[in-house]
Amino acid sequence: MKASRVVAFALAACGCQAETAAVTPVQKVIQLMNGMLEKGKAEKHDEQVQYAAYKQFCDDTAGQKKAAISDADEQIGILEANIEKYTSDAAQLAKEIAGHDEDITVWGGDIKATTKVRGIEKADFDATHKDYSESIDALERAVATLKGQTADRKQAALTQVSALSKMTLIPEAAKQSIASFLSDSDAGIEVSAPEANAYEFQSGGIVDMLEGLLDKFIAKKTALEKEESESKQAFEMMLTDLQAMIARSTEERDTAKATKAKKLQKKASDEGTLKDTVDTRAEDQKYLDDLLATCEQKAADFESRQQLRTEEMEAIDKAIEIISSGAVSGAAGKHLPGSLVEVPSFAQLRAGGVQLQSQEKVAEFLQAKAKQLNSRVLAVLAVRVAEDPFVKVRKMIKDLIVKLMNEANAEAEHKGWCDKELATNEQTRTEKTNAVEELTSQIEELQASIAKETEDLAALSTALSQLEAAMEKATMLRGEEKDKNAATVKDAQEAQTAVAQALTVLEEFYAKASEATALVQDDQAPPASFDEPYQGMGAENGGVVGMLEVIQSDFARLESETEASEAAAQKEYDTFMSDSKIDKEGKSTDEEHKTAKKNDEEAALGTAQEDLEATQKELVAAMAYFDKLKPSCIEADVSYEDRVAAREAEIESLQEALKILNGDSI
């Protein structure tokens, strides 16, 4: 009530009419609540807009993460299937390689066994062939001697026939006939030397028999040679087939090994990619779970806040309705001062000397407060109060109070704006500073990684060049060694053939020489030095035949060792080339991966550098804006709190001055 009177008196003093009566406290409350209602509606709308943007972020980000997780699941399935297939393929290839190795071993054993059997067959053929050749030769000489010799050369013919009876291939019946012939011939010699025709008649039967044996031996020798030729041809065909199968199986085995290595390499690569994909998917899933939980909490908070705002506005509406009803507004119209009709007459009663006395008190009061508060405004006002008319003084005080309150409101708004702008600017500067630091760190990491990848690629390139050079050199050396070994084998084979021919000549000669005889029909006795038949020099100095046989075995050993060395060298070369190819493929794959990674990192580096440049510009702009805010928001001589306190003290002093002018006691 006291405050209402003061307001009424102030209005009366300034000459206001009843039609512009002061607003009642009830109306003030209604106005205040209407303002609250409008503010609540605006804030509710702003909150809806803000949450709609946040919800859109939640939906977009969750959709992106779900799509990424779905893609990762699909890729994981594909990678797991590929890894399983590569593992199965590698196991199957390992079985194939083992099968090829087993076949190669078996066929190699077959070659050795067949070669051994062929050697036995060849030895048997050589021995049998030699026997037939010697028998045929002896038969031909015996027949020729029997047919061409006269009675005076009968003894030589008998010697030839006698030699036949010692040969193993002559049938037993033929040997008996020969023995009988020789017996009859010996008897004829003792009686008397027969005439030529008589001798021919006697030897006719044995000649026919020997010619029959000769034809038979020639036929058997021919059949034996044919059989040997067929056996040799069959052996060579079988050997060729086995060698072809070994070569084909070796090639298939090497191909399977290379394919297996590629499968295992791809398996290892996919296993690395699978691990990265699984880790990335786990990170995306965790981010999605956290995001959904946060978004759900935000949604719940938003619904709760919206519900509270709705209930708050409903309560304010209800309060306005109640206060606006007759029970409150009507009572206020009856019991509270709704107009100031009576005030002017009451104010007139207090005119004159009372006004002057109050004006002096106000001037003294304002001067005291000006000194106390060190207020230049109150000091100036005190002087003007003492000089100006009473009505003008009251208006001046009111205007000054309104001005100070407007300044307070403006400064409060400016303070709120400053606080908001400073907070926003500080957050921006912090975010941009952190972003610059993160981008700088990211750029440094990318640059270090790119440098490392460049170094690794250079090392891989060098290693590949060295590996290719080593493979080329190995191929060149293998070719030279192969040609040298082939020439050595050829020389050894030709030497063995030549030595074999020499041995055949010598063996045939010494075989004939061993059958030499001293039964020569000559009236003169041979010299003492020729009392024994000459059998050649085969037994001198350890035997030339034995030496040739040693030489032949040396050449055979040279051929065998050279072939074994060639096979070992070829195997070692094949192993080296296979391992080198696998190593080369692995290094080439690493080079491709590192090149792709380097390209990706270089692209990421370019993006990061662009982002850093843009972020630095934004940080510079934020710092510049902060410098603009400092003069008006930070670098003031008097703090905001001190200014507010001083202004409130001035307003309070002015209000007390109005009370004095209105006649109220201090």
For residue 306, give the nearest of 43, 59, 55, 57 by alpha carbon: 43
| Dihedral angle sign, alpha carbons of residues 114, 119, 120, 122 | positive
Q: Which residues contact 209 (CB under 8 A, 6 or more apart)?
A: 174, 177
Mean pLDDT in residue range 248-277: 90
CB 145 within 8 A of CB 156: yes
What Å distances lie between residue 565 and 247, 558, 583, CA to CA?
A: 18, 10, 26
Six-digit token string for 565: 């060395």
Buried b (16+ CB within 10 A) or exposed e, 263-285: bbbbbebbeebbeebeeebeebe
Number of residues in the chain: 666
For position 465, what pLDDT does the model report? 92
206 CB neighbour count, 10 Å cutoff = 23
For position 400, what pLDDT does the model report? 73
Residue 47 has pLDDT above 70, yes or no: yes
Position with higher pLDDT, 344 vs 377: 377
Full DSSP string of 35-58: HHHHHHHHHHHHHHHHHHHHHHHH
CB 345 within 8 A of CB 8: no
Position with higher pLDDT, 170 vs 13: 170
pLDDT tens figures, 140-193: 887 777 776 544 555 555 666 666 666 667 776 666 666 666 666 554 444 444
256 CB neighbour count, 10 Å cutoff = 19
Residue 434 has pLDDT above 90, yes or no: yes
For position 189, what pLDDT does the model report? 44
At how many degrees (to 10) do helices 640-662 and 353-373 cross?
160
Between 38-52, 162-176, 272-286, the lowest mean confidence (pLDDT) is in 162-176
Mean pLDDT in residue range 386-406: 66
Between 345-349, 389-393, 643-647, 660-664, the lowest mean confidence (pLDDT) is in 345-349
CB 544 within 8 A of CB 538: yes
Quote the CA–CA distance of 420 and 414 in Å, as a whole number.
10
Residue 19 has pLDDT above 50, yes or no: no
Residue 92 has pLDDT above 90, yes or no: yes
CATH value of 429-512+542-635 in 1.10.3470, 1.10.287, 1.10.760, 3.40.630: 1.10.287
Count of CA atoms in the C-beta half-sphere (13 A) of 182: 17
CB 558 within 8 A of CB 434: no
Q: Cα 344 to chain center, whole Å? A: 98
Residue 247 has pLDDT above 90, yes or no: yes
3-class SS of residue 490 = helix
What Å distances lie between residue 117 and 106, 229, 232, CA to CA?
A: 16, 15, 11
- Average pLDDT in the chain: 75
Quote the CA–CA distance of 496 and 502 in Å, as a whole number.
10
| Dihedral angle sign, alpha carbons of residues 15, 16, 17, 21 | negative
| Dihedral angle sign, alpha carbons of residues 325, 330, 331, 335 | positive
Residue 344 has pLDDT above 50, yes or no: no
Buried b (16+ CB within 10 A) or exposed e, 417-445: ebeebeeebeebbeebeebbeebeebbee
Quote the CA–CA distance of 205 and 184 in Å, as a whole number.
12
Residue 471 has pLDDT above 60, yes or no: yes
522: left (phi over 0), alpha (psi -120 to 50) or beta: beta
For residue 79, give the nearest of 245, 270, 224 by alpha carbon: 270
**What's the one-letter identity of residue 337?**
P
Q: Cα 220 to chain center, whole Å? A: 75
